[in-house]
Amino acid sequence: MRSIISAFILSLNFCTQPLVRGAPSAADWQELQKAVEGRLFTAEPLARPCFSTFQGKSVEPNVEECSTTKQHYLNSTFKTAAYAGFVHSYNEACASNVTDQCLLSADTFSTNGKNTSGTAPLTGPCNLGMLSEKYIAVSRAEDVQAAFRFAHRTGMPLSVKATGHDYAARSSLKGSLALWTRQLNDIAFNPSFTPVGGSSSPIAAMTVGGGANLGEVYKFADRHNVTFIGGSSGTVAAAGGYSLLGGHGTLTPTYGMGADRMLEATIVTPDGELRIANAHMNSDLFWALRGAGSATFGVVLNATFKVEPVMPLTLALMSFNSTGANTGPFLSLLMKHTNIWAEEGWGGPMSMSTLALVNPAMSVDAAKQSMKEVADYVSAQGGTVVLESLPSFYAFYTKYVEAASSTGTGAATFATFRTLPKRLHQSEEGRAAMTKTFRDIKAAGHDTFIFQTTPNKFPYEPGSNAVHPSWRDSYWLVGTSISWSSNDAGLEERMRVAAAVQEVSKNLTDLAPEGSMYPNEADPWTRNWAKEFWGEENYARLVQVKRKYDPHGLIGCWKCVGFEDKLMETESAFRCLGAFQKKR
């Protein structure tokens, strides 16, 4: 199997010379272990200590480790601290093979963080699933260089995982050697940063290791009296998937996306070179990394981002009990005020009965006027309205966001989110079309979530990075999430969930064909994914960058630059998700 996987990942239409393909020998592994100074490990699923069999062989359960895993199985901080831990279980399980997994079901793990009863070993299937048999706990550039030499010599495909907070299983690949970068978590503040080779005026910046998560970054920034602009989930890697595939959050409308704020990256490319990428050096690579760089052009060791001073924020927080009849008028009010709020700098999530928007440039008194009509409506529904001033982003994050962001589902949650063009807000026909689409999604049993987190006020230079251009012409990112009922879900239920996700994607695409799917929160089965994620013009350029820096296709992932749809049907490593791809 491994030789087949190597054949398709190594080709990617980019090969310039034949490579050796086949299972690495014991001597190959020993040489790699020596090169990485003992940081090559054999992987086991996070839940393995709870089972009496693994990969078809009898094993001894570990009661103490099992109890710890059960207790924290819903905690994304706990999960992302281990190579084998993933926030969404289809990253570690083969979704289309219900026996090729090693997961805890809801009746075996704690839902409240307390100890669970019972010590008997579980007897269900415990297999490797999507996990790599071997992984390197990367701590330096030389580890990555050794991995690329190993892949080139043996034909072993590579995968990259930082924290594993992924909706599209890009962080795992059956049959690969995994590079786990979570331990690259150093963070540094530079009040006068200038990119290498540049002559611009110094600015305040933070250099963030490729595995450092946003929660760690926010805490560090607050200690240094600055603000790091990021998203809501504290377990996402700031210099990993968050910024490399775009990156949006409550302050994005004013201060731009994660990719917009990146000033420089240090990366090991598949040719083994340690490179600095910025606007002055390897500028083509720098362009590609900011929007399409996740596990595609190399392994990012760290990235440097512009930071802002600590700033007070005004929060508007509203919610009411939905009766069905009262959500339509609320949605109409959201649509009515969206363009005004965008100009005023409001950003954050909304739904059919909730609103949580933040503004870095408005007082509470001004916010009362801005929000008056919506607040009056929410109050009339017996709801709650909070208008509050907070001294900093970190104060907002720790009070309202942090606890929720560390809680996972314990099962498999799929997402599909699309940017909606501003034109839909600018006519009665457009607003009616949005309303109908949201009602259709609700009728199918799913809630619609709205993120007013597009970079409306940010002074973006067109074409300066690989993020899809639709982000610059949208007010909203809209979509839903759909989950398996449990990790015990059978194949039929998993097929229904996959079909439902794809149907919502179709509804949103029909509503806004010129919009785009957000790669970090996209339907894994997105059709025309290259166009949807980056746009046709950007993708053509991205392919050229891929060919330049990874001519042998040593590194790749699910629907990343260079992926081919035929692999979903022909290669086992991608059939775990590919089996659910609807054909139209």
Give the other-Cβ count within 10 Å of 496's Cβ.
14
Q: How far is CA 499 from CA 162, 493, 509, in A?
A: 29, 10, 15
Q: What pLDDT was estimated at residue 330? A: 98
CB 292 within 8 A of CB 561: yes
Does 313-528 match 187-309 at the fold level?
A: no
Assign a CATH topology to domain 187-309.
3.30.465
Element (H, E) at 207: strand 203-209
Specify the CATH architecture of the domain 313-528.
3-Layer(aba) Sandwich (3.40)
Under DSSP, is residue 90 helix (H, G, I), strand (E, B) or coil? helix
The alpha helices in 75-186, defined as continuous H runs, are 76-79, 141-154
Q: How far is CA 526 from CA 69, 167, 256, 447, in A?
A: 33, 12, 25, 20
Can you say whether the dihedral through the CA atoms of 237, 238, 241, 242 is positive or negative?
A: positive
Kind of pairing between the strands at 177-180 and 187-193: unpaired
Q: Where do the domains of the chain lie?
A: 2-182+555-578, 187-309, 313-528
In whole angstroms, what is the distance from residue 408 CA to residue 406 CA?
7
Locate 204 and state its tokens: 């305040």
Weakly modelled stretches of the chain, pLDDT under 50: 1-20, 115
CB 87 within 8 A of CB 166: yes
Instruction: Say what the pTM is.
Output: 0.94
Q: What pLDDT was estimated at residue 411? A: 72
Which has the closest alpha carbon to 211: 243, 236, 174? 236
The DSSP result for 295-322, as a single string, is TSSSEEEEEEEE-EE---EEEEEEE---
In whole angstroms, what is the distance from residue 424 CA to residue 27 CA?
61
Q: What pLDDT was estimated at residue 584? A: 63
Q: How far is CA 83 from CA 251, 293, 408, in A?
A: 31, 21, 17
Q: What pLDDT was estimated at residue 114? A: 53
Letter for the amino acid at 173? L
In whole angstroms, what is the distance from residue 56 CA to residue 47 CA?
15
CB 8 within 8 A of CB 174: no
